[in-house]
Chains A and B, each alone.
Chain A
Amino acid sequence: MLIDIDPDSESPLYQQLHDQVVEAIADGTLQPGDALASVRQLAGQFGINSATVGKGYELLRQEGLVRTSRRSGSVVARGPADEPTPGFEPGWTARLRTLLAEAVAHGMTDAAIRGTADSLLTDFAAHRTDPGRSAS
C-alpha cells in the first residue's frame, strides 16, 4: 500500500504516516501480520529523516497497532477482529469529545453527526469485506 504525505499540510509528517496506517488497519488494507518497510527503507523512499519515520512507528507501537522484533522487523500487530486493546477507550473518548464538540459548535445537528459517523464506519466495513471496492 502507498503512504501519501502532504508536505504542505499543517499536520506533522509522522502524524500523517501514523493516521494512514491506522486507517489502513481499520479498512482491512493492512492485515495482522503484514510486514511493513523498515524505518530506513521508508525514510529512504520518502527522502526524509529516519527520525521522523521512527517517531510515527514508535507512536503505532505504543498504541499496540504495530509490533517490531529483531527477527521479522515491523509487522501489523492487530486488526478489527481482535479483542479490544485494554485501556484504549478513555483516551479515545476524550479526543472524540473534542471532535464532537467541534461539530456541535459549528452547527452540525446530532443526526448529521451520527449519519457521517455511520457512513464512515460502513465504508471501513465494506472495504474489509471487498477490498477491490475502492482503490487503496
Chain B
Amino acid sequence: MIAFVLVFAPVFTALFGLLFSAIIALRPPGLPLSVRVPQSHIGDPFVLTAIRRFRWGLVLAWLVTAALTAVLAFTGAAPLAAVLPVLLYTALSILDLVLSRRVIIRAKREGNWFEGVPVRVSAQLTPPAYRHPPIIWPALAAVVLAVAVAVDVALYPNLPDPIPVHFNVAGDADRWAAKSVWSVFGILIIGAAVVVLLSVISVFAARYAARTQADDTAQQATLRTQVQRTLLTSMLSELAFVIALGISAIELSQRLLPEARWTVAACAIGLVVLVMVVVIGNVARARVQLQPANVRDPRTPRPDAVDDDQHWKGGLLYVNRDDPALLVPRRFGLGWTLNLGRPGGIAITILLLLAIAAIVASVILLAHGR
C-alpha cells in the first residue's frame, strides 16, 4: 500500500507537470505564459527568463509534492497521500504560472512594448469546414460496455445477495448492498453516461473555433483551428473508449475472478496509465502539427493582436463584460473557459462549483458513513 502511494502520486504529478510544460508549445507564440506580447518581443530575454522560471517552478513544486507524499505515506495517512499531493501540485503549478508571468507583464509595462505597434482583431471569414469526430472510438466503447453488460446479465441469477460494491486498497470487499439492477450494473451505467458525455463534448469540439491571433497568416489560423479541433475530438473520443475499457475490465474481473485480490487495483492503475497515454500522446502530436503555425515569417508581415491582458485574470480566468460569448477558447491549456463577465458565465460557474462540492461531500459521507 505504501509502495503504491509512494509511486502513484509522484508519477502522476510528474506526468501532469510534463503536460503543463508541453502545453506552452501549443499556445500561439504571441501569448507566452498567457501574456500578450507583440511579435517584436516574442524572443525577449524577459519572456525567455519567465518561461525558464515557470519550468523550474514546476520541478520545485514536484519536489515539494513528493516530499509531502513520503511524509503522509510513512505517517500512515496513506489514502490521503494519494489525493492530497495531486491537489497540492495543481495549486502550486497555478501559483507558479501566476508568479512567472508577472516577469513578462512588468517588462511589457515598463518597456511600453505595444507603443506605436499596429494592432488588429482578426477572424476567419471562411472557417474550415466541420467534420464529424471519429465514430470508431465511441462505437468500440459501446461494444466493450455491451460485453460487460451481457456477462452481468448471464451471471445475474448466480450473483450473491448482498453483493460487494466497494473494495479497499488491499482488494478486500468492505461494503455490500442488496442485489439490484443498480448495485450490479451501477458502475456500467456510470461508464455509459461518461462515454455519452465525452462523445457529446467531442461533437462540440469538432466545431471549435480558436480565436484567431492577428499575427497568424490565414493558413496558420486555419492550421491552428484544425489542429486544436483534431486534438480535442480525438482525445475526448479516445478517452471515452479507454474509460469504457477500464470500467468493463474492473466489472468483468470482479464478476469472473471474485477471489483474486489484485485484479481491481490492476485494472484501476491500467486505466490511469491509459488515460495519461492518450492525453500525452495527443498533446505531443498536436505540438508537432502546430509548429508551422508558430513561425513568424518577415516576408508575410502581419499586424499584432490587441493587448487584451486586462480581461484575463491570472492568465486563466476570462472576465469581459463587452464580449457576448459565454464560452471562449482558453488562453492557457485546452478547451474552453467561461466568460465571468456575463451573468450566465457566473451562474454556470457557481453551479459547477456546487456540483463538485456535492460530489466531494457525498464521497466523504459514503466513506465515513458506512
Contacts and interface: CB of A to CB of B under 8 A. Distances in A.
Interface in A26-67: 30, 34-37, 41-50
B337 interface: no
A88 B221 CA distance: 35
A45 B120 contact: no
A135 B303 contact: no
B126 A37 contact: yes
A5 B300 contact: no
* A-B complex: 6 closest residue pairs judged by Cβ atoms: A45-B123, A4-B120, A47-B323, A135-B300, A5-B121, A2-B218
Contact of B209 (A2, A3, A45): A45
Interface size of B as a range: 20 to 34
25 contacts: A2-B122, A2-B218, A3-B122, A3-B123, A3-B125, A4-B120, A4-B122, A6-B119, A7-B119, A20-B125, A36-B125, A37-B126, A42-B123, A46-B121, A47-B121, A47-B211, A47-B320, A47-B322, A47-B325, A48-B121, A48-B323, A48-B324, A49-B324, A135-B218, A135-B300
Contact of A2 (B125, B323, B325): B125
Chain B contact residues, majority secondary structure: loop
Interface residues of A, number: 28
Interface of B: 118-127, 209, 211-212, 214, 216-218, 221, 300, 303, 306, 320, 322-325, 328
Contacts of B119: 6-8
B311 to A, nearest CB: 9
Interface of A: 1-8, 20-21, 24, 30, 34-37, 41-50, 135-136
A40 to B, nearest CB: 9
Contact of A42 (B125, B218, B320): B125
A51 to B, nearest CB: 9
A2 B124 CA distance: 5
A47 B328 contact: yes
Contacts of B118: 6
A135 to B, nearest CB: 5
A108 to B, nearest CB: 26
